[in-house]
Chain A
Amino acid sequence: MASRALAHCMRSVARASARLNHGNMLTRSACAPLASNQRALSAVSRGQRTRWTDLVRISGPSVHLCRRYGDLPPLTLENIQDRVMYVLKLYDKISPDKLQTSSHFMKDLGLDSLDQVEIIMAMEDEFGFEIPDAEAEKLMTPEEIVKYIADKKDVYE
């Protein structure tokens, strides 16, 4: 008894998804050049299956269905600087009011080399690439970090 009810549900779900798929196929073809778009739509409006058009309402040439790809915004010098300063402000050993782009970690902010290692690791996490040891230990101010990252990521301005 229960299995029959379940089978019935599955069938109706399959039917509904088939309807939606059909609708999706049409919306996909709606992405094609507008000339054929008009004809496809008119064919649909004339067509026999009117039920699923209630689900998928296409309103003529104002439809712009396009794919969107997720990606980070392009890097600019200003963007890099903002992110570097943001990460530094979040670091618990730095007081945000004393922080400037030219502040030296050891001389101005009173940090030690272990803190500097932590800061560079945080920058690696933020920007998503590894900074080799030899170059990491030379970066002593936010400005140097920004310059280094811009250099590595080929950001020119």
Chain B
Amino acid sequence: MWCCCCGQFLQRQKVLGLYRDLLRNIRKIPQESDRRYLRDWAREEFKRNKSETDQDVVRMMVTQAQNHLEDLRKSLALAGC
């Protein structure tokens, strides 16, 4: 994956933490079919971009993922899950 120089290592930890948070929130979704769809989507997104080396692109994708996570959290809170 990413090579282990300091900034990129922290980046890697952040990405993995994001992935984990995303999966944890996807777990709370009531419908099994929706859960499966989102899990596959998340996996696909992260895997597709995992070999990206441009730091700016990586930062942008991390921000996108954080936004997705926030949207998911808000939707779950509204739905009362």
Chain A 100-146 residues near chain B, CB threshold 8 A: 112-114, 117-118, 121, 125, 133, 136-137
CB of B16 within 8 A of CB of A121, answer no
CB of B23 within 8 A of CB of A118, answer yes
CB nearest neighbor in A for B26: A121
Q: Give how many A residues have a beta carbon under 8 Å from the other chain's beta carbons.
A: 10
CB of A117 within 8 A of CB of B50, answer no
How distant is the Cα of A133 from the Cα of B17 in the complex, in angstroms? 7
Q: When each residue 8-50 of chain B gets 1 if its CB lies under 8 Å from chain A and 0 otherwise, what string results?
A: 0000100011011001100100000000000000010011001
CB of A121 within 8 A of CB of B24, answer yes
Q: How far is the CB of B18 from chain A (nearest CB, A)?
A: 10
CB of A114 within 8 A of CB of B43, answer yes
CB of A114 within 8 A of CB of B19, answer yes
Pull 25 A–B residue pairs with CB atoms less than 8 Å apart, ordered by A: A112-B1, A112-B50, A113-B1, A113-B12, A113-B16, A114-B16, A114-B19, A114-B43, A114-B46, A114-B47, A114-B50, A117-B16, A117-B19, A117-B20, A117-B23, A118-B23, A118-B43, A121-B23, A121-B24, A121-B27, A133-B16, A133-B17, A133-B20, A136-B20, A137-B16
Q: Which residues of B contact A (CB under 8 A)?
A: 1, 12, 16-17, 19-20, 23-24, 27, 43, 46-47, 50
